[in-house]
Amino acid sequence: MPDIIIRPMRPQDEKDINAGLRAMGWDDRPGLYDRYMAEEKEGKRLTFVAEKDGQPVGYVTLIKSAEHGPFAGKGWPEVADFNVFKAHRRQGIGAMLMDAAEAAAAEFSDTITIGVGLYCDYGTAQRMYVKRGYIPDGSGVWYHNKPLPPYEPCVNDDDLILYFSKPTVKK
């Protein structure tokens, strides 16, 4: 896609990203993107923004060493906070963002990880990750950053997660 540019996040992106999220019915996330950029300066996270016609249309971040879930402490990077705004979906933008995150991960790790929610809004992402070669790690469902024991009550919200990983490929 020649009209899409993948680049690092910039301070001025927060306004446009929040507008894109509001258009999808989400709340603003004040200060979150400043934190992401600060973590990037600290060497903890990488940020990738998809830009079309000078405007952000999606983004993804890569935590350099997973902090939660079954991959915490292994030194493997985790794809986190991945969004393509609804008006720009099904155009290959998500694949471009994932390509950027996976290529960056391959520079310093032989494995990349991701956690995905389980309710229907995550369905497209779940399918995309499987098609890209991610496989569940086998630790089952996690809730509030802990493995969810059998028959335990939970809420099907953003904190109910299944973790996946795949080998990285150096280009």
pLDDT tens, position by position, 122-132: 998 999 999 99
CA 17, CA 106: separation in Å to the nearest integer?
Answer: 27
- Strand (E) or helix (H) holding 160: strand 160-167
The overall pTM is greater than 0.75: yes
Across the chain, mean pLDDT equals 92
Yes or no: say if 96 and 6 are a contact pair by the CB < 8 Å rule: yes
With cut-offs at 50, 70 and 90, classify the pLDDT of residue 74: very high
Task: Look up the domain containing 92 and give its range.
Answer: 4-167
With cut-offs at 50, 70 and 90, classify the pLDDT of residue 2: low
Q: Number of folded domains in the chain? A: 1
Segment 61-78 mean pLDDT: 96
